[in-house]
Structure 1
Amino acid sequence: MANFSSIVTGLTIFGYWLLIISITIRILSKRRAISSAMAWLLVIYILPIIGIIVWLFFEEFYLGKRRLKLASTMWSKRNKWLNNLKSRNFIFENNNSEVATSVFQLCKHRQGISGIKYNKLKLLKNTKEIIKTLIQDIYLARNNIEIVFYIWKPGGLADDVAIALIRSARRGIKCRIMLDSAGSLEFFRSKWVTMMRNSGIQIVEALKINLYQLFLRRVDLRQHRKFILIDNYITYTGSMNLVDPRLFKKSSKVGQWIDLMIRIEGPVAITMGIVYSCDWEIETGKKIFPKQPKYKIVALPKNNTSAIQIIASGPGFTENIIHQVLLTSIYSARKKIIITTPYLIPSDDLLYAICAAAQRGVQVSLIIPKSNDSILVKWASRVYFSELLESGVKIYQFEKGLLHSKSILIDMQLSLIGTANLDMRSLWLNFEITLVVDDSNFGRDLFLLQNEYISHSKLIDPKLWAIRSYWRKVIEKLFYLLSPLL
């Protein structure tokens, strides 16, 4: 009996170390950032059982075999559609502004198409007005409405959108809605799901969370895109979830969430439709190919270079593209950079790029919310302040709510707006979407909005920050250790 017990113990110890070694090799073979690899190794070796479980659920399974297979083949199936798009040479802009040239060349090389022109852009900053404009477009829709959101929280303004969609579906408009399972949990438990489906609206619960799925993919991989496509011609995208800011997360006591969206009319909607069709196929296995409408050409001012690139990220999409675009944009800056982000956990490369820009004489301003709904991010992000401030970056803390807008303006010309935060999750994990806009008129509008944010913010004094209390520095460092996993 004693011998049997010794054999079982020996096999258990051998199996345990074999698993630890195999995971170690797996971490090192993925060629991830050293900080991230070290964080995972520390977790696994210091808290072995917990570390192994966390690794399996949050790293190894990732997207799941079925979805991953679809994701790896979906773009090849859309080559015909893309070739048809490329045949319309008149919608592409190959002569970009000086600051945007490198970024657009990168996007063309990695995504296969040039920037698209002949688009009418409008920057929207007030949620109530955004919803009002959106509802008008929903009622005017003639063919189809495609929607994807991370969060849809029933109540208030969100219910007005639901009613408009139901009425449009009943008059024959093809409506598809895709919502993240975790982010839109309240919606999927509400009456609206049944009401919408009864009206003919197709609703998909993206990356569904249940016990079965826990063993098939990463549970923290999220569908974080936020965009609406109407008649394959009008599109909305930006930072706003489909919520009423007066009702959303009131218990967090951070004030109303402040967002921005872009409304676009024009051929760039074709590429948005391609992204949506890929997401839909990954979730449902079904192919959808929206019709390509006959576009009205929007007259552009003379001598004005205007073009848009759509950057879509996530499993199956162009790898590391958002990170590369961010770095290229920042290194292209010569005069001014203004960044707004609610969550600041940059990669080392991104941090160094921002600091280097300030050190070479570029005016760099960073606007973040003073109050944050994530205590982990709130404390971990502060570790970066010292290095940024020492480099000459101005850091503004927005005081009139949770500034949720994600925007970057380079030299008043190149704008990046979308769903991606400056954190590891947005840069390398989630399904995100970012618009890269080369347009001086749009840049001016974004500049005015960002300056409005600054007017409601407090500038951090580098001298006062340097003498903050010791216990605050300790807490920041402790949360910083978790930053590669955030």
Structure 2
Amino acid sequence: MPTGEWIALLGSVAHVVIAIVAAVYIASNRKPSSAIAWIMAIVFIPYIGILFFLLIGNWRLPKHRREKQAYVSELFLERTKGLHLVSHADKWPDWLPTIVTLNRNLGALPMVGGNTAELYPVYRESIQAMADAIDTAERYVYIEFFILVDDEWTAPIIEACERACARGVQVRVLSDHIAQFSYPNRKGTVARFKAMGAHYLPMLPIQPFKKHYRRPDLRNHRKLVVVDGLIGFVGSQNLIIDHYHQKKNIQRGLHWKELMCRIEGPAVREIQAVFVTDWYSECDELLLPEVGDIQLGELDATKLDMQMVPSGPSFENDNNLKLFAALFQNARRRISVTSPYFVPDDSIQMALVTAGARGLDVELFVSEISDQFMVYHAQRSYYEELLRAGVKIYAYAAPTILHAKHMTIDEDVSVIGSSNMDIRSLSLHMEMMMMVHGKEFCDRMRAVEDSYRANSKQIHLDEWLKRPTSEKVFDNLMRLTSSLQ
């Protein structure tokens, strides 16, 4: 056999071996849709497929970081024993206790009562509220945001941190390492925190020479503030001007709409637990709160019950995905979901479709336009199935990007936080959601949803099916990319 034919034969055999090895290795503990997508990529474009898999195929953080997460989770499980007793569990819907148990088993934090909450749907008002809270700090301030930029809109928070440091308050700040490179004044922002005496650390840094390396798109997407363990903030908003300093956003007149929540009560310690874990993961300093600060007998169990649910590649499970699917499956009357990037896992899509088929009042709020081409078209490919099941879809009017992330279930359960309803947030990003039981709070969340509806155009099935063929092609093609995780 000529040499060329031998080389071709050996190449074919190697290709088959690579495909078999990839099939066995990739399929291990991976969702079938993701495994199939990766195997197809390696089979049809072997060299490029293998290269990309080596770069972004590992969907969990390095072992030492997962071990840190497990260690701190065990500490908080031990330190929060009995805290779940301070709640109005007798008023929960009959399906809620099992979901509370699910969250506790996954994220190590209990459902605890005695809390109050205030919503901030206006961008600059939430920034001022966070700054005002920082001005009350006597001991410490913890700040953690995916994107954090010192600019004219975030100035109130930066200046409040300077005043806190001048009072002798310990200020610790975390922000995503890679995200900081995408926006102006990165070095200036870090330098200002250091100059004021604050402790700043980048989250999940890519620093190979310092042995900091992992899949580049595993990111910490959380947004939170803690003041003295007494006041906390969670929600969807980054600390940056509402057009993100992006030239294309300014040219298109885009601006972001968010929802933040201010919390007082023992649930703030759960927000703090998430920050403590992330800080420990970056620098080995364990900032455990004092034991005994919360006295069970002093709490008002008639107030809101809250449970923080951290999730991400530091855990062994997709915590937020399981929470969302369980809520949709157990809802009895109504589901309202707000998500700027809606590219759901199969289980979530099926749960929403099934809820619509069960006759529930199901609605989804998205944006009419988007800043992300691939995600925008991918999410549109899911609309037809939802619409056929009776799900109402509302597109928030341009030029606003509806970036809030929350949901309400029936009359008294709400969830708000940092997680989108897409594959990235469900599996690849570190997120935090807050589950709340309380009719009065749910009513306020419904009022926010009502304001969205008033500024949205409802998408109807007959009109949707008539959209241009070119749009359908892009929608379906972009959907294929969503499983490569």
TM-score, L = length of structure 2: 0.91
Determine the C-alpha separation between the residues in 2 that align with 1:254 and 1:477: 28
Stretches of structure 1 that go unaligned for 5 or more consecutive residues are none
Q: Secondary structure of 1:119's match?
A: strand
The match for 1:43 is 41
Does the CA-based 8 Å contact 2:19-2:39 persist in structure 1? Answer: no
Does the CA-based 8 Å contact 2:88-2:305 persist in structure 1? Answer: yes
The match for 1:269 is 268
Q: Secondary structure of 1:244's match?
A: coil
Q: Find out whether 1:411 has 2:397 as its counterpart.
A: no
Q: Secondary structure of 1:431's match?
A: strand
Which stretch has the larger CA shift, 144-153 or 292-301? 292-301
Does the CA-based 8 Å contact 2:314-2:430 persist in structure 1? Answer: no
Q: Secondary structure of 2:317's match?
A: coil
Q: Find out whether 1:104 has 2:100 as its counterpart.
A: yes
TM-score, L = length of structure 1: 0.91
Does the CA-based 8 Å contact 2:66-2:315 persist in structure 1? Answer: no
Q: Find out whether 1:86 has 2:81 as its counterpart.
A: yes
Aligned counterparts, 1:3-402, within 5 A: 18-30=17-29, 32-60=30-58, 62-76=60-74, 78=75, 81-88=76-83, 91-98=86-93, 100-111=96-107, 114-185=110-181, 186=183, 189-210=186-207, 212=209, 216-245=213-242, 248-249=245-246, 251-252=248-249, 253=252, 255-291=254-290, 293-294=293-294, 299=300, 306-317=304-315, 319-400=317-398, 401-402=400-401
How many residues were matched structurally? Answer: 477
Opposite residue 271 of structure 2, the aligned amino acid is: M
| CA displacement at 1:35 relative to structure 2 | 1.7
Does the CA-based 8 Å contact 2:109-2:309 persist in structure 1? Answer: no
Distance change in 2, residues 1:283/1:16 (3 Å):
farther
Does the CA-based 8 Å contact 2:236-2:259 persist in structure 1? Answer: yes
Opposite residue 217 of structure 1, the aligned amino acid is: R
| CA displacement at 1:476 relative to structure 2 | 1.3
Stretches of structure 2 that go unaligned for 5 or more consecutive residues are none
Determine the C-alpha separation between the residues in 2 that align with 1:194 and 1:11: 57
Identical-pair percentage: 27
Opposite residue 354 of structure 1, the aligned amino acid is: L
Which stretch has the larger CA shift, 82-91 or 390-399? 82-91
Determine the C-alpha separation between the residues in 2 that align with 1:164 and 1:430: 29
Does the CA-based 8 Å contact 1:367-1:398 persist in structure 2? Answer: yes
| CA displacement at 1:254 relative to structure 2 | 5.8
Distance change in 2, residues 1:88/1:437 (3 Å):
closer
Q: Secondary structure of 1:147's match?
A: strand
CA offsets 1:97-127 (integer angstroms, 9 cap, x no match): 2153332232244445541000011111111
Does the CA-based 8 Å contact 1:424-1:485 persist in structure 2? Answer: no
Does the CA-based 8 Å contact 2:149-2:186 persist in structure 1? Answer: no
Which stretch has the larger CA shift, 325-334 or 313-322? 313-322
| CA displacement at 1:323 relative to structure 2 | 1.2
| CA displacement at 1:36 relative to structure 2 | 1.4
RMSD of equivalent CA atoms: 2.7
Distance change in 2, residues 1:249/1:213 (3 Å):
farther
Distance change in 2, residues 1:278/1:192 (3 Å):
same
Distance change in 2, residues 1:480/1:437 (3 Å):
same
| CA displacement at 1:274 relative to structure 2 | 1.7
Q: Secondary structure of 2:359's match?
A: coil
| CA displacement at 1:51 relative to structure 2 | 0.8
Opposite residue 349 of structure 2, the aligned amino acid is: L
Which stretch has the larger CA shift, 372-381 or 188-197? 188-197
| CA displacement at 1:298 relative to structure 2 | 6.4
| CA displacement at 1:408 relative to structure 2 | 0.7
